[in-house]
Amino acid sequence: MTTRTMQRVTTVFLVGAAMAVVGLVSVRAHAQGPAGMHAGMMKRMISAALDEALDQAAVTAEQRTAIYASRDRVFAAMEAQRPDRGAQREQVLVLFEGDRLDATQLQAVHAQMAQRRQAIGDAITQAIVEIHDTLTPAQRQIVANYARTHGPRGMR
């Protein structure tokens, strides 16, 4: 086997091993669901972005404390409304297995999911109002510009 062939085999092996590790980590994270790695990672990412935006806006310690309290209330609402996906799936499957599928019961499961999403949305809306009221107009402009350039569609 030539050196070049050995390098290619090694590269393919290393890439395959890396993909396997990433796959295992992803499967584990997915299996743990929002309560596991996803929720913690999401909280860290949101907090880091918030800190960066607040640093750019030069907020005071008092403002930062108030904003963190709003952020923490959102995180608490998300945790409180976090569905047990296994239980939801089982609920739907039990309905599906029955002799007759009752659309009303199925709609009730979906309505419950929608209520959870709405409660989280309400908490986020309240936090945005509180943060707005905490910041000065100039600080709001800086935070808004940060969100425009670093948000989901503006990742740079």
DSSP codes joined into one string, the chain: --HHHHHHHHHHHHHHHHHHHHHHHHHHHHHHGGGTHHHHHHHHHHHHHHHHHHHHTT--HHHHHHHHHHHHHHHHHHHHH---HHHHHHHHHHHHHSSS--HHHHHHHHHHHHHHHHHHHHHHHHHHHHHHHHS-HHHHHHHHHHHHHHSTTT--
Q: Residue 84 — φ and ψ, nearest 5°? A: -90, 95
The secondary element (H helix, E strand) that includes residue 6 is helix 3-32
- pTM of the model as a whole: 0.66
Band of pLDDT at residue 153, cut at 50, 70 and 90:
low
pLDDT value of position 37: 53
Side-chain half-sphere of 45: how many Cα atoms within 13 Å?
9
Check whether 7 has a pLDDT greater than 90. Answer: no
pLDDT tens digits, 96-128: 888 888 889 889 888 988 898 899 999 999 999
pLDDT value of position 88: 81
Rounded average pLDDT over 75-79: 89
pLDDT value of position 79: 86
Rounded average pLDDT over 84-91: 81
pLDDT value of position 8: 53
- Choose between 9 and 17: higher pLDDT: 9
Rounded average pLDDT over 83-108: 85
pLDDT value of position 17: 41
pLDDT value of position 143: 92
Check whether 62 has a pLDDT greater than 70. Answer: yes
